[in-house]
Amino acid sequence: MTTPKSALVTGANKGIGFETVRRLAAEGFKVWLGARDAERGMAAANALRAEGLDVEWLELDVASDDSVAAAANAVAARAPSLDVLVNNAGIAPGYVESFGPDGRYERPPSQENVADIQATYDVNVFGPIRVTKAFLPLLLAAPAARIVMVSSSTGSIGRALDPTTANAAVNLLGYGSSKTALNAVTVAFARELAPQGIKVNAAAPGYTATDLNGFKGHRTVQQAAEIIIRLATLDAAGPTAGYFNDDGPLPW
């Protein structure tokens, strides 16, 4: 009997993460739905199991070394390897409150709270590093693992400096720079793991309606998940150390 491929998605009890779990499970993966809140995590996993999908909640707080280590041990006790890791968990404290009544973003970088920026980096940058390092033995045990870092087009310095792009209108110090840093993390892991056949790429899902932005985004979670699934299921000829949205490579 063939063992089904397995995947882990962090921050997956709602939004883009939840839809990514649904899509991977629909493609035949056994999926670990990573979430720090037990009630929400189990409810999300139960909802997908009710659709006939092989999904299981995994307690996982990406900002906690102990939680990440315990999660890796829990999966290792149940599975010989991990084929896909989607580092999706992310936060943007203060983002929703920074919009004015006309819908324009009104918070300049100089007014962002340093504590909020530190918390953002702990989840958006150090979280993926923690999780990737902890699950690396399981990823290496798979024949051709794939790692997807869920980034954002706001992490593109090139787009931020291009007045013709939508990113030029929003100047996010904490969230945007955390995604720029995550892009660098993507390249670093990709360079290390390429000889082992592991592909590591960053996905920019677009401005998606989720609670991260107060549901102001114009894209659906179904649209957002497309690039993540594409990178999570790359064949041997696929790229690594790349940064992509639906239209193709993005400028760093």
* Cβ(181)–Cβ(125) below 8 Å: yes
Domains of the chain with CATH codes:
6-249 (3.40.50.720)
DSSP-derived secondary structure letter, 102:
T
Instruction: Verify whether residue 175 is a known catalytic residue.
Output: yes
Tokens coding 122? 């702990």
* Residues contacting 216, CB < 8 A, separation 6+: 96, 99, 103, 207, 209
Q: How far apart are CA 21 and CA 10, in angstroms?
A: 9
* Residues contacting 8, CB < 8 A, separation 6+: 31, 32, 34, 58, 75, 82, 84, 85, 86, 131, 135
Tokens coding 245? 């949205």
Q: How far apart are CA 238 and CA 240, in angstroms?
A: 7
Q: How far apart are CA 90 and CA 115, in angstroms?
A: 16
Q: Which of 121, 175, 207, 243 is catalytic?
A: 175
Judged against a pLDDT cut of 60, whether residue 1 lies above it is answered with no
User: Average pLDDT of 155-177?
Assistant: 93
pLDDT tens sequence across 25-83:
999 999 999 999 999 999 999 999 999 999 999 999 999 999 999 999 999 999 999 99
pLDDT tens sequence across 81-140:
999 999 999 999 987 777 767 666 778 999 999 999 999 999 999 999 999 999 999 999
Tokens coding 53? 């999908």
